[in-house]
Structure 1
């Protein structure tokens, strides 16, 4: 049983930018399903927004910085916070908040697989949290070196075991 859901960087500028994330509609639906189940179980939902410096495309308050409109986040109920690094922990109050909520196991979903999902998963484990990274609830874009599908498959294999539990989002329980 997971204790909390952490959604990373599901923002307009990343989700709906010029390079579209791999299977973005399916991933959004999967994350929204997890949001519904977490909310039904009373599990905390924490939502990270990557924030660029003033003048950047994802500067605080800019249209691209906003959460994707199709994400079923309740800004009056869920905990939204901003980050400036790939880790959701560095420079934020996330670890303190998770400990205050008595979270032991964290479900990590969102974007981008090879940056913020990977980094946050590894740091969470270093900080003593158990992690579930549903293999079908994170995404990224193609890069010059690898297709997004290969990046996701690689990270699912790498993060499973040593850094967290894997499996399908449908199997996650709160």
Structure 2
């Protein structure tokens, strides 16, 4: 039997996408996330939006999740104050209540919140599929945004740990190839 999955969309907020250090290729990123989100909704896969409370004032336009991928009625939001979406939030409890064992992760920013949440998820006992074309970041002085995304796809793909005697692993997979 296939483990129950949930789609976790991290920090796709207006102030992240178009803020001081804008996400490169935001339009394409939003399209990839929107397509993945639509498929998840069509198949009844639970969707959880993670929102960083340090992006703009809570309730402001900068803090809001971008309208192209905004939560629909009944979809959960988890508010956080750290790169790790599990740190001092109820994300793990929500997933446990839903019987979720597998996370599909998309969002912003690759080298911060996406990376940290993927790694933490496997140590908590979840398998993770990183939507390889549905996470993004800003340019950095050291690397172009596309290089950061490619590097993290390669770095995280296959990362795993043993949890309670069972292997848990991250797989980086193009969003169209993700089975929901």
Q: TM-score, normalised by structure 1?
A: 0.92
Q: Give me the whole-angstrom Cα distance separating, in 1, the residues matched to 2:115 and 2:75.
A: 23
Q: Distance in 2 between matches of 1:171 and 1:152?
A: 18
Counterpart pick for 1:113 among 110, 115, 130: 110
Gaps of 5+ in 1: none
- Which residue pairs with 1:173 in the alignment? 179
The answer as to 2:14 corresponding to 1:8 is no
The Cα of 1:72 is off from its aligned counterpart by 4.3
**Candidates 8, 23, 26, aligned match of 2:25:** 23
Structure 1 segments of 4 or more deviating over 6 A? none
Aligned partners of 2:46 and 2:112: how far apart in 1? 23
SS at match of 1:145: coil
1:114-173 CA-to-partner distances (Å, cap 9, x unmatched) read: 000000000000000000002101000001121111111110011000140112100112
Distance 2:40 2:28 in 1: 18
Q: Which has the higher strand share?
A: 2
1:92 aligns with 2:76: no
**Unaligned runs of at least 5 residues, structure 2:** 161-169
Instruction: Tell me the TM-score normalized by structure 2.
Output: 0.89
CA contact (8 A) 1:9 1:111 kept: yes
Alignment of 1:80 onto 2:77: yes
**2:59 aligned to which of 45, 58, 61:** 61
Aligned length: 169
Q: Which has the higher contact order (CA 8 A, sep 6+)?
A: 1
Find the residue that maps to 2:173 and give its secondary structure: coil
8 Å Cα contact 1:35-1:73 kept in structure 2? no
